[in-house]
Amino acid sequence: MSECGRLSDRMIEVLHLRSNWAAGEVTHLAGCPDCRAEWRVLEAARGLGAAVANRVDPERLGPRVLAGVAAARRRARWLRAGWLGGLAAAAAVTLLLWSPWGNRTRRTTPERELLVPLAELEGLTTQQLEGLLDQFAAPLGSAAASDAPGLGDLGDEELEQVLNTLEG
């Protein structure tokens, strides 16, 4: 390290009266214009802060700074809570719109309604399913509903089919 670099590092210690100049350092400071200019800048900077330091009352400033920090923390906490609340509301709206509960107002097509799997209907043929659909499509008390056979009208094979479908 050069003499100028070493002297530059020690200037702060000497400025704050933590150390004194050695004889060789004083000689170098007197002969080096760069080191002398740096020393003058440091001494001038120390004088700038002295006027402000005399006007600051630490007894009054401390509580005000702490109150400002506490207010900043409260604002940050409220801001985080606001963001979290907003995100939760957005998630709730999204879930409501994409969930089955949010789809109640949508109209479904008859084809979509027929896709509901029923174990009781799995063993029926296409002709039997169409006949069943015709009976459901007719209003109650109409001729199509009254034409349906009762259990006494069914043969042994037809009763067995009914029992098999009920047993699953």
pLDDT tens string 39-52 = 899 888 887 877 77
Most confident among 64-78, 115-129, 141-155 (mean pLDDT): 64-78
16 found inside a domain: yes
| Structural domains counted in the chain | 1
Tell me, what amino acid is at 55? R
What is the reported pTM?
0.32
Mean pLDDT of the chain: 79
pLDDT, tens only, 83-127: 999 999 998 888 888 776 655 555 555 544 545 567 777 788 888
142 found inside a domain: no
Domain of residue 37, residue span: 3-55
78 found inside a domain: no
Residue with tokens 């330091």: 53
